[in-house]
Amino acid sequence: MFALPGTAPVTITPAAEAQIARLMASKGAFGLRIGLKKGGCAGMEYTMELAEAAGPAEEVVEQGAARVLIAPMAQMFLFGTEIDYETGLLDSGFRFRNPNVTDSCGCGESVRFEPLEGSRAGQD
């Protein structure tokens, strides 16, 4: 993982911790896997799924009763991200405050990252 020793690669707010713990308990899951996939108008979309176990090379972040698994291909893009859960009048859901994002679409569902040298990561 692209973390500093003794520093979690992502942080989880108390609201997100509570929601992740609820989801895990209701489905008997080991944790919430977070990743990225190509898609959306900005180029990349966050993915989330409940997982029964950690996969090879996945980074595991535990906080209270919440456990987040970070897919290997997403680790470099998620370093420094704060995961929050917001409840509003019109919608509720997880929010990612990611310092690595260079652009996002108007609806906030997809993001773009600065391409890595020699690759097309984060580009359409």
Structural domains in the chain, CATH included, are: 10-113 (2.60.300.12)
Please tell me which residue, 40 or 2, carries the higher pLDDT value: 40
Question: Stretch 49-68: mean pLDDT, rounded?
Answer: 95
The backbone torsions φ and ψ at residue 17, rounded to the nearest 5 degrees and listed phi first, read -55, -45
CB 16 within 8 A of CB 83: yes
Compute the average pLDDT of residues 17-35: 97
How far is it, in rounded angstroms, from Cα 104 to Cα 110?
6
| Residue 44 pLDDT exceeds 80 | no
CA distances from 49 to 24, 27, 69, 71 (A): 10, 11, 10, 11
